[in-house]
Structure 1
Amino acid sequence: MRTFIGLVATGALAACVQMPWREKAPALPAVQPGDLAMLEGSWAGSLTYRDYSPPHEDVSIPATLTVDKLDEGMRLELKYPDEPSAYDRSMLIASDEGRTLNSEMVLSRTQSDDEVTIVTASECEDDGRPAQCEVTYTLSPKVFEMTKMVALESGEAPFRRNAYAFVRTAKPD
């Protein structure tokens, strides 16, 4: 009798393990090791941003970008040819497991051919007001775009704060 009960219990356990609801959870979206590396080199393009002053129109200015690989991530150096005194240096740093990019949670990562799109989200401030920010990075060997959307906690309609659009001018040596 014990042998029979043991066989029934083993069979029941095996059936539970094979049930479809026991399938693996889908992998969480993450930045892959080669994603940011494709940015290394020189780029030319533009920055379009929403003016902080009413009527909050979009303003576009030329921009250049140089990306260098450092131990901790990718260094981005932005320059604006029409405004030589304006520049920005920043980093793109993915966490070890790729779940965050610059401390922003990775919401999605999709790939189509050689183009990767990564969407991140974080709490932020816009013009001194609390908000949720979502940044979409589109990376490929020839094109790099970053678009920042802002949703103010006050409930106003989300808007695009800025968008960078670049095409490659030179790959690294």
Structure 2
Amino acid sequence: MKIGLFFGTFNPIHVGHMIIGNYMVEFSDLDEVWFVITPQSPFKQKTSMLGNYHRLAIANIAVENYPKLKTTDIEFNLKQPNYTIDTLVRIEEKHPNKQFCLIMGEDNLKGFHKWKNHKVILENYELYVYPRVSEGKAEYKLLNHNKVHKINAPIIQISSTFIRKSIKERKDISTMLPHNVWKYIDEMNFYK
């Protein structure tokens, strides 16, 4: 089984994340996409960041009707700050019969050479890259690497920052979140 790991704080998960995850699983050779909920750094206390388990709960609600989309809290118990290579090692220990790949926005590929053990990651894992709107259209050398797959997913210009700000301003943005997520966030008075 080939699984794409989609990393993020998902604060909160929104339809943009769901569209990318679903597109990856339906229009590539990935069998599943796992949303890897990145923990809040103990060194950065952001008041707008929901706690780890709240964000995990919201993500679980978002994927509950999509059997090919899952969540994982694998990073919650890893030493902080955490690096992707450490997560990959741990997740393979827990799931030795699965093949893992990374999902990332094209903008992240630009700085990939700065990641800890980036060469080891590229030697051992495939990268599934989706387009993002960014300043200028720079061609990255890695786009032509045999382990990098550019997936022509839709460009979604919704951010979790925009979602949080809009909720705080009491805007009805219910169409930008999975229905059950909007209902839960509203009931819990999150981000208000």
Give me the TM-score of the superposition, normalised by structure 1.
0.30
More helix by percentage:
2
Which of these two proteins has the greater Rg computed from alpha carbons?
A: 1
More strand by percentage:
1
Give me the TM-score of the superposition, normalised by structure 2.
0.28
